[in-house]
């Protein structure tokens, strides 16, 4: 009987969260994609047309829709081609440039008092003092607390008039910080829980331009950052492989190592022992 199966039985019987083959908790960093999803007001919002729904046509249930929307809606990624004519389009981004260690920079306190806050080099140095040097291939994401404002677009964009682009106030990354990161560290993605990683008052989008030039992709409207640690997760941002795509909504998630990763201490009660015995007996019987 192989040791792996025994371990699985023990895990199951003790209710432990310790699948040795996949010792991670998955955290969804994605918002629902639908009519309420946010997008820059000059672009096109989410539209769904039902193309087939019901049992009449084929004699059994069939359901499908046609979707139309900007690529930059809801929790989405920006391909480098969004701000760089020769940058990668969605279908060109290699898969090993779409998954990497999560580095979450928390500036909630600063952004609470100042919606125009931009992450400084000092914020990065503080993060590194606590958690070590930003790892190569990092997914570098701002947690500004903007998550809590969704889905109210006026409070997310920090404005009374969503049609007035010059009235937007939300935090972002400072271009000097990004220049420093590009020269001194190696990241795959730049991200934010706000609608753009350039702050709301930006009219020139320097962070988009600087990162796109390096083929660094982007993430916007990221959700649930409070549920992952500042360091130690793995984030998957494997977006749609659309030909000539400039970005797109995606199912963004983090893998957070759980105690199954390196903890073999198991607290076992009588009922657990019983379950283990039953499990192992069944396993033996099945193999006979
Ligand atoms: C909102 O902003 C738009 C664009 O600047 C402007 O045309 C419109 O009059 C504004 N609406 C209000 C209520 O101020
Ligand atoms: C970005 O990707 C494009 C397309 O593959 C390539 O031509 C360009 O050299 C890349 N730029 C950088 C800085 O890697
Ligand atoms: C695994 O063990 C290392 C070293 O003791 C520790 O730093 C880390 O936090 C542990 N990870 C988990 C998920 O318990
Ligand atoms: C290992 O798991 C036990 C039981 O769940 C727990 O009491 C202990 O603190 C854990 N140790 C580590 C290093 O995570
Ligand atoms: Zn975008």
- State pLDDT tens for residues 155-187: 999 999 999 999 999 999 999 999 999 999 999
pLDDT band at 273 (very low <50, low <70, confident <90, very high): confident
For residue 86, CA distances in Å to 7, 93, 232 come to: 51, 12, 33
Q: State how far Cα 4 lies from the chain centre.
A: 32
Q: Which two tokens stand for residue 230?
A: 């500042």
Residues 11-18, mean pLDDT to the nearest whole number: 60
Phi, psi of 134 (to 5 degrees): -55, 120
- Predicted confidence band of residue 260 (pLDDT cuts 50, 70, 90): confident
Evaluate if residue 13 carries a pLDDT over 80. Answer: no
3-class DSSP assignment, residue 218: strand
Q: How confident is the model at residue 263 (pLDDT cuts 50, 70, 90)?
A: low
Checking DSSP bridges between strand 217-220 and strand 187-192, what pairing results, if any?
parallel
Ligand 4 centroid–CA 261 distance in Å is 11
Bridge partners, 139 (sequence order): 102, 189
Lowest-pLDDT range of 4-13, 26-35, 112-121, 144-153: 4-13
Contact 27, 64 (CB under 8 A): no
Query: Which whole number is the average pLDDT over 41-56?
Result: 95
- Stronger pLDDT, 48 or 4, i.e. the higher one: 48
Residue 259's pLDDT is 74
For residue 265, pLDDT over 90 is answered with no
Q: How confident is the model at residue 279 (pLDDT cuts 50, 70, 90)?
A: confident
Looking at ligand 4, which residue's alpha carbon is closest to its atom 8?
265
Instruction: State pTM to two decimals.
Output: 0.83
pLDDT score, position 8: 65
pLDDT at 17: 52
**How confident is residue 247, by pLDDT bands cut at 50, 70 and 90?**
very high
In terms of Cβ atoms closer than 10 Å to its own Cβ (0-12, 13-18, 19+), residue 162 is middle
67-111 pLDDT, tens digit per residue, is: 999 999 999 999 999 999 999 999 999 999 999 999 999 999 999
Q: Is 87 in the pocket of ligand 2 (CB under 6 A)?
A: yes
Q: What is the mean pLDDT of the chain?
A: 92
Find out whether 249 and 90 touch, Cβ atoms under 8 Å. Answer: no
Please give the distance, rounded to the nearest whole angstrom, from the Cα atom of residue 165 to the centre of ligand 1. Answer: 10
Q: Please choose, from the candidates 193, 230, 187, 227, the residue with its C-alpha nearest in 3D space to the C-alpha of residue 210.
A: 187
Q: How many angstroms does the Cα of residue 15 sit away from the middle of ligand 3?
A: 20
The ligand 4 atom nearest the CA atom of 263? 1
């Amino acid at each position: 009987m192989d040791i792996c199966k025994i371990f699985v039985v023990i895990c199951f019987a003790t209710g432990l969260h310790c699948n040795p083959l996949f010792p991670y908790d998955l955290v969804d960093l994605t918002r629902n994609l639908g009519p309420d999803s946010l997008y820059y007001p000059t672009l096109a919002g989410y539209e769904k047309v039902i193309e087939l729904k019901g049992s009449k046509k084929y004699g059994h249930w069939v359901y499908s829709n046609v979707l139309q929307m900007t690529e930059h809606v809801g929790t989405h990624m920006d391909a480098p081609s969004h701000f760089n004519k020769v940058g990668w389009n969605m279908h060109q981004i290699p898969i090993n440039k779409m998954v990497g260690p999560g580095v979450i920079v928390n500036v909630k306190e600063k952004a609470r008092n100042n919606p125009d806050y931009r992450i400084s080099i000092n914020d990065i140095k503080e993060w590194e003092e606590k958690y070590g040097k930003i790892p190569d291939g990092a997914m570098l994401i701002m947690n500004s607390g903007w998550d809590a404002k969704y889905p109210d677009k006026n409070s997310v964009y920090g404005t009374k008039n969503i049609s007035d682009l010059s009235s937007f106030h939300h935090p972002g990354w400072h271009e000097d910080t990004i220049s420093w990161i590009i020269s001194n560290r190696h990241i795959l993605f730049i991200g934010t829980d706000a609608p753009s990683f350039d702050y709301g008052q930006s009219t020139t989008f320097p962070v988009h331009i600087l990162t796109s030039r390096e083929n660094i992709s982007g993430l916007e409207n990221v959700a649930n950052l409070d549920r992952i640690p500042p360091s130690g997760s793995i984030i998957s941002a494997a977006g749609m492989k659309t030909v000539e795509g400039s970005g797109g909504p995606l199912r963004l998630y983090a893998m957070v190592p759980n105690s199954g990763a390196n903890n073999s201490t198991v607290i076992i009660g009588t009922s657990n022992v019983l379950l283990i015995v039953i499990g192992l007996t069944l396993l033996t019987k099945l193999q006979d």
